[in-house]
Structure 1
Amino acid sequence: MLGAQESASRNLHISTSEHLHKDTVPFLRRQRLQLAMSSMGSPVLDIATPATHTMGLFLQPYVVKHVHPDIQHHQKITQIIITGSPQRYAQLSDTCIDSLRPTVSWIDSHTIHLNCFPSRSLMLHYASVVATYLSLFRRDSGIVHLRPLDSDHTVRLIRESNLQAIGKIDLAIIGNVNNLTGLEGLTDHWYGFDRSEFSIFRWQKFTSRKHQAVAVIGCLEQLWGDTGGHILRALCTQLNVKCVIYIAKCGSLSEEYTSNGWIATGTKAFLKGEVIQWSCPLEPVIDMSKDMSKKVARGPIVTVPTPLCETRDWLSEWASKATWVDCEVGFIAKAAVELGVQFGFLVVVSDNLWHPEGQNLSNEDSPTVISARKVLYDQMTKILNSLLLRLDAS
Structure 2
Amino acid sequence: MSLAPDQMLAGSTSAVLPAAPIDVDGHTMSPGRLLRYLQIKVHHLVQEQPWDSIRVIGGYDRRAEISRYEKGGKLFNWERPTAEAHGRDLLVKAFPGTDYVHHYGLIIATYLGMTGRPADNVTYQLPDPALRRAAVEQLNLGLDGDLVIVGWALEHLAPADAVWTRGPGYAWHRATMHGRRVVYLGFRHSIWGDVAGRVVHRLAELGASDVVYVGKVGALAPQIEPNTMLATGNASFVDGELVTWNDFFGDFAVAQPGVHTGLHVTSPSILLENRDWLARHAEHAFVDPEIGPMGAAARNAGIGFGYLHVISNNLARHYPADLSNERHGDVVRRRALLVGRIRDILTNRLAARVI
Query: Normalized against structure 2, the TM-score is what?
Result: 0.88
The letter for the 2-side match of 1:300 is L
Report the Cα offset of residue 51 of structure 1: 1.1
Contact between 1:169 and 1:215, CA under 8 Å: does it hold in 2? no
The corresponding residue for 2:24 is: 50
Report how many residues are paired.
Answer: 335
Aligned to 1:377: 339
1:115 aligned counterpart, secondary structure: strand
Q: After the TM superposition, which parts of structure 1 deviate over 4 Å for at least 4 consecutive aligned residues?
A: 41-46
- Mapped pair 1:112 → 2:90: yes
Which of 228, 234, 245 does residue 202 from structure 2 map onto?
234
Change (3 A) 1:387 1:43: farther
Q: 2:189 aligns with which of 208, 218, 221?
A: 221
Shift of 1:186: 5.6
Q: Judge conservation of contact 2:98–2:126 (CA < 8 Å) in 1.
A: no
Deviations 1:148-195 (A, max 9, x none): 421231221221x2x3234434200000143534x5x563311115xx
Residues 338-361 of structure 1 deviation map (CA, whole Å, 9 limit, x = unaligned)? 111111101111111122341010
Counterparts of 1:288-307 in structure 2, within 5 Å, are 293-307=256-270
2:26 is aligned with what amino acid? T
Partner SS, residue 51 of structure 1: helix
What residue is the counterpart of 2:81 in the other structure?
Answer: 102
Are the structure 2 counterparts of residues 63 and 360 from structure 1 closer, same or farther at C-alpha, using a change threshold of 3 Å? same
Q: 1:43 to 1:343 in 2, by over 3 A?
A: farther
| AA at the equivalent of 2:188 | L
Matched, 1:122 2:100: yes
Matched position secondary structure for 2:55:
strand
Shift of 1:38: 5.4
Partner residue of 2:121? 143
Q: Deviations over 1:325-347 (max 9, x none)?
A: 10100100110111111111011
AA at the equivalent of 1:120: T
Change in 2 beyond 3 A, CA 1:332/1:380? same
Write the distance in 2 (CA, Å) between the matches of 1:186 and 1:141: 46
Cross-structure match for 1:331: 293
1:311 maps to 274
Aligned partner of residue 24 in structure 2, secondary structure? coil
Scaled by the length of structure 1, what TM-score is found?
0.80
Mapped pair 1:273 → 2:273: no
Distance 2:178 2:190 in 1: 32
Question: Structure 1 pair 279/148, CA: closer, same or farther in 2 (3 Å)?
Answer: closer
Q: Against the structure 1 CA distance between its residues 88 and 311, is the aligned structure 2 distance closer, same or farther, given a 3 Å change threshold? A: closer
Q: Distance in 2 between matches of 1:147 and 1:277?
A: 31
Kept in 2, the 8 Å contact 1:285–1:386? The answer is: no
Structure-2 residue corresponding to 1:71:
46
Q: Is the 8 A contact 1:54 1:353 kept in 2?
A: yes
Q: Could you tell me how far apart the structure 1 residues matched to 2:216 and 2:203 are?
A: 21
Distance 1:362 1:255, change over 3 A: same
CA distance in 1, matches of 2:18, 2:302: 33
- State yes or no: 1:366 paired with 2:340: no
Stretches of structure 2 that go unaligned for 5 or more consecutive residues are 1-11, 67-72
Q: Partners in 2 of 1:38 and 1:386 — Cα distance?
A: 49
Aligned equivalents of 2:146 and 2:162: distance in 1?
22
**Contact 1:46/1:309 (8 A) holds in 2:** no
Counterpart residue type for residue 230 of structure 1 = R
Q: For each residue in 1:97-143, what CA deviation from the matched residue of structure 2 results, as whole angstroms up to 9, or x when unmatched?
A: 111111111110x1111111111211111000001011112222211
Alignment-derived partner of residue 174 in structure 1:
150
Amino acid at match of 1:314: W
Which residue identity lines up with residue 260 of structure 2 in the other structure? A
| 3-state DSSP of counterpart to 2:79 | coil
Secondary structure of 1:360's partner? coil
Give the whole-Å Cα distance in 1 for the aligned partners of 2:246 and 2:205. 21
Structure 2 counterpart of 1:124, which letter?
H
Output the aligned Cα RMSD.
2.2
Shift of 1:46: 6.1
